[in-house]
């Protein structure tokens, strides 16, 4: 069985980060090892959330695993709490990067043209450095614009996306994938660039007019789980985009839907059947 380490916060209530990564990657058939970076009462879109930083636990936990001879087939990082934590995670990559370890970085820090409340431009710079150590990065357009110093645009064409991808590629990861890319009206999806082959990959599906928290985490977790099943990054992105869109649609039909996250619990069985 493949073993995936995922490093991100636990938002106790909120359906994001570890409360998505753990069930989704496990359901896709990989052992999922978690390294919580902070414990929050809710995600940061709620008011008055509590937050206990767990930075002091990261190094001892990693050292213990090392002493146990643990190895990982993939390391996947999401929302991290501070610049110091990014340095810790970079050291952890060096400790556990094996010949075939896939490192996936989702530089979670911003959306819709804005940084999340906890972050500033120093954090953006540090996240760009973290991306350099990854095999695959999956930022959204806002995060990509911030990390590359390019202008954030809501209206754009294929050329703007290619320029963003070129900027991301220069950060150093092997594959750069931009999420939330709408190349035609009514559609959205991903566009990626693979440095080794020089090829672009575009996948678009229907755009649903609803924005939900945690959908980026759902997309990234699904990608990681699908790649661990042996799928190419392109197939994994396609399935993850379809699964995320399907989950948003199902959530919209739920009369009791929570505002803070999507009903991925209802759609996990459908993910199992996706090809």
- Residues within the interface to ligand PXL (CB under 6 A): 9, 11, 16-17, 40, 43-45, 79, 108, 116, 213-214, 216-217
E strands present in the chain:
3-13, 31-42, 51-53, 74-77, 102-105, 110-111, 114-115, 136-137, 175-181, 187-194, 199-206
In the complex, which residue's CB is closest to ligand PXL? 44
**Closest separation in Å from C-beta 179 to ligand PXL:** 12
Instruction: Considering the complex, state which of residue 50 and residue 197 has its C-beta at the smaller distance from ligand PXL.
Output: 50
**Closest separation in Å from C-beta 54 to ligand PXL:** 12
**Closest separation in Å from C-beta 1 to ligand PXL:** 27
Instruction: Considering the complex, state which of residue 2 and residue 127 has its C-beta at the smaller distance from ligand PXL.
Output: 127
Instruction: Considering the complex, state which of residue 9 and residue 169 has its C-beta at the smaller distance from ligand PXL.
Output: 9
Instruction: Considering the complex, state which of residue 169 and residue 217 has its C-beta at the smaller distance from ligand PXL.
Output: 217
- 3-state secondary structure at position 234: helix
**Closest separation in Å from C-beta 100 to ligand PXL:** 28
The residues with which 5 forms a beta bridge, in sequence order, are: 33, 75
Instruction: Considering the complex, state which of residue 108 and residue 224 has its C-beta at the smaller distance from ligand PXL.
Output: 108
Looking at the chain, how many residues does it have? 275
Q: How far apart are CA 266 and CA 268, in angstroms?
A: 6
Alpha-carbon dihedral sign for residues 132, 140, 252, 229: negative
126 φ, ψ to 5°? Answer: -65, -40
**Closest separation in Å from C-beta 158 to ligand PXL:** 27
Instruction: Considering the complex, state which of residue 69 and residue 117 has its C-beta at the smaller distance from ligand PXL.
Output: 117
List b or e across 237-266, with b for residues whose CB sees 16 or more CB atoms inside 10 angstroms: bbbbbbbbbbbbebbeeeeeeeebbbbbee
**In Å, what is the CA distance from 157 to each residue of 146, 148, 172?**
18, 17, 24
Alpha-carbon dihedral sign for residues 179, 128, 13, 222: positive
**Closest separation in Å from C-beta 67 to ligand PXL:** 30
């Amino acid at each position: 069985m493949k073993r995936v380490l995922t490093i991100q916060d636990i938002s106790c209530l909120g359906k994001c980060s570890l409360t998505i990564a753990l069930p989704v990657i496990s359901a896709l058939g990989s052992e999922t090892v978690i390294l919580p970076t902070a414990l929050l009462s809710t995600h940061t879109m709620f008011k008055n959330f509590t937050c206990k930083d767990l930075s002091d636990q990261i190094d001892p936990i990693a050292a213990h695993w090392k002493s146990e001879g643990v190895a990982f087939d993939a390391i996947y990082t999401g929302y991290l709490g501070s610049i110091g934590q990014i340095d810790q995670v970079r050291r952890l990559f060096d400790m556990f990067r094996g010949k075939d370890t896939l490192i996936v970085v989702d530089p979670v820090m911003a959306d819709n043209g804005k940084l999340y409340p906890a972050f500033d431009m120093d954090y953006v710079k540090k996240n760009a450095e973290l991306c350099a150590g990854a095999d695959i990065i999956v930022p959204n357009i806002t995060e990509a614009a911030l990390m590359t110093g390019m202008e954030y645009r809501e209206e754009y064409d294929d050329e703007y996306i290619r320029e963003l991808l070129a900027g991301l590629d220069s950060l150093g990861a092997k594959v750069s994938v931009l999420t939330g890319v709408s190349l035609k009206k009514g559609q959205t999806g991903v566009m990626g660039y693979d440095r080794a082959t020089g090829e672009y990959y575009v996948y678009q599906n229907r755009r649903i007019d609803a924005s939900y928290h945690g959908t980026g985490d759902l997309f990234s977790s699904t990608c990681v789980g699908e790649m661990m099943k042996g799928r190419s990054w392109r197939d994994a992105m396609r399935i993850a985009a379809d699964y995320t869109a399907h989950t948003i649609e199902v959530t919209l039909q739920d009369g009791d839907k929570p505002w803070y996250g999507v009903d991925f619990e209802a759609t996990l069985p459908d993910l199992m059947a996706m090809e």
